[in-house]
Structure 1
Amino acid sequence: MRLAWNAFLPWLEGKYPGEVHHLEAALESIGNFHDDVSQASLGELMENASCNCIMELRKTNKAALARELEKNVAPADVIPEPSATIIDGMSLVQQMKGDDKTFTQLAESALAKVLHEGAKSQRIDFVFDVYKETSIKDAGSQGEWVDHR
């Protein structure tokens, strides 16, 4: 999809008054790949969607996206067999409450939760995200992102 710059720039100026000039570096880098920056696709500009108009890193709200997607999906009455359960490891860790428990007690609690979730599955996969060094998540773990929620 090609970006209609004549329509986009007034909208951007209205949304971020006086901040459009901060996009010059991003547009210049896109311009290095195109003779005419106006021929760059919206996707190329939005690849840097993790930056706001003042070029700060910002964390995206995946939960809001997930809620929107879930609105269009009906829950399954019956889960076909065989099935698999995929557990988000970081989510599980963040849900755990220490409350003066030992590491053994925490591990047993986590295992019980995983086995409960996957009780009817033939297979349980316990996964953790791995982020590239230059990703927004890596920056977030170092406290460099700006949360604009």
Structure 2
Amino acid sequence: MNKLNKGVLIITLLAGSIGANAQNFRQDDSAGIGMTIIAMVAIFLGLILLYLVFKIIADVAVKLSKKNAMKAQGITDKNVAKEKAIGSESGEVFAAIAMALHEFQDNVHDVEDTVLTINKVKRNYSPWSSKIYTLTETPRRR
């Protein structure tokens, strides 16, 4: 038996056993409670995995940001950087900057009333919108 035939045989046996297991699972869990619990566990495990991945990425980003801040100020010692709190600005500073930018951009226009006035305008006839000119003439038969 060559490798291709062995692979096909293995896949066929696995597919058969999966189908048999699915039939047994359908008979044993006719209400679907077991499938619901399995699905919920899979979703929560996926969410936990995503949380851990994002947490690791955030930690790496913070470390790189601190490293770049140290390089910008010419500091090579990590203890000196901790004493000067380089790269760890408080959230209050960022909140104040964001509020100032918001206020600056929000006050660009004058305060206006929100009253809308709609005037109905009578339109004059225009041959540009007339459908009679868009129709083609029927050809003459000779």
TM-score (normalizing by structure 2): 0.23
Structure that is richer in strand per residue: 1
Bigger fraction of residues in helix? 2
Quick one: higher RCO (CA 8 Å, sep 6+), 1 or 2? 1
Larger radius of gyration: 2
Structure 1 length normalisation: TM-score?
A: 0.22
